[in-house]
Amino acid sequence: MNILITGCAGFIGSSFALKLLNSENKHNIVGIDNLNNFYSRKLKNKRLLRLKNYKNFKFYKIDLLERKKLDTLFKKRKFEIIFNFAAQAGVRYVSSHPEKFIESNFYGFHNLLEVSKKYPILKFFYASSSSVYGDKNNFPVSEEVKLYPKNIYGLSKKMNEEYVNLNYREKTKYIGLRFFTVFGQWGRPDMLILKFLDHAKKNKTFFVNNSGNHWRDFTYIDDVVEILEKLMNKKFKKFEIYNICSNRPIHIKELLKYLMKKTNFEKIKNKKHNKIEAFKTHGQNKKILKKINFNKFSDFYNSVDKTIGWYDQYNYLI
């Protein structure tokens, strides 16, 4: 199987590529990434180095905005399945750099979709986000509820889902993946757990919004990549959307207490609530569990401990 993974130096993309490269099925994996400096390039390059150890992995430094390069790559490699994880991430980055989300998440996605339509792609998986839901009052949220994103990032993901339904290739199956707060080893240093650990190591005051009075449906990376691998081999209708979540919201204040205990670090300062962020995320996962027969999610705090162990070894990358 010839598989394209965009954003292959990112957290989910690199973790999933490694999962496939270690599977019994010898897939040919091509990864592309623009290796931007949104966060540590050292971390991205280290993730990439792990993948380059495999003979059946090939990397190309390509931005989704570079349409001619994409077209040349598709002509050369004859892909059957696409996993699109390339996007500008970071909800708090929205206020200072909205143009990055428009460029990457709108135009970049458009280019990839348009180029892929010229070729016999069987399945096109693309990353969406829990941010499409915005604030809700009834939980857990299912894939069928109306979407009211609170920021450009969430809006860009909602637009991607709608754009696929308007502009598609007839014989390709399109599967949207609404990820809920993925965490774990090799994760993004701008997200809460690794960010807290880094502040603790450097003895820098850690600022927390609304005294940590938020809930997040944390989903461990090992569970995510196992779900994706199982999902890849399933049959689909024309368009499908799945929540990728543990259905296990964690109170941020309680998580911070745990991290403070593990690190003996207590320099935390409160900030007012950021209006562009949802108060709570909690996804219903009945649809995905039924599709792939998966129900063994990792213990949350054991997974946090593994993440801490990884940081202790690799903090120099952040």
Concatenated DSSP letters of 28-76: EEEEEE---SSS-HHHHHHHHHHHHTSTTEEEEE--TT-HHHHHHHHHH
Question: pLDDT tens digits, the chain, 318 residues: what are they?
Answer: 999 999 999 999 999 999 999 998 889 999 999 999 888 999 999 999 999 999 999 999 999 999 999 999 999 999 999 999 998 666 555 555 667 777 778 899 999 999 999 999 999 999 999 999 999 989 999 999 999 999 888 999 999 999 999 988 899 999 999 999 999 999 999 999 999 999 999 999 999 999 899 999 999 999 999 999 999 999 999 999 999 999 999 999 999 999 999 999 999 999 887 887 899 999 999 999 999 988 789 999 999 999 999 999 999 999
**36 Cβ contact partners less than 8 Å away, ≥ 6 residues apart:** none
Exposure on the CB side of residue 215, measured as CA atoms within 13 A: 14
State the pTM of this model: 0.95
Helix (H) or strand (E) holding 269: strand 268-271
Query: Can you give the pLDDT at residue 92?
Result: 56
Catalytic residue status for 314: no
Which one of 93, 153, 174, 220 is the catalytic residue? Answer: 153
Residue 49 CA: distances (Å) to CA of 29, 119, 256: 14, 30, 32
Strand partners, 82: 4, 124
State the virtual CA torsion across 174, 179, 183, 185 in degrees, nearest 10: 0
Query: Can you give the pLDDT at residue 213?
Result: 93
Strand partners, 234: none
Six-digit token string for 271: 């900030």
Fold type of domain 2-183+217-247+277-298: Rossmann fold (3.40.50)
- Going from N- to C-terminal start, the domains of the chain cover 2-183+217-247+277-298
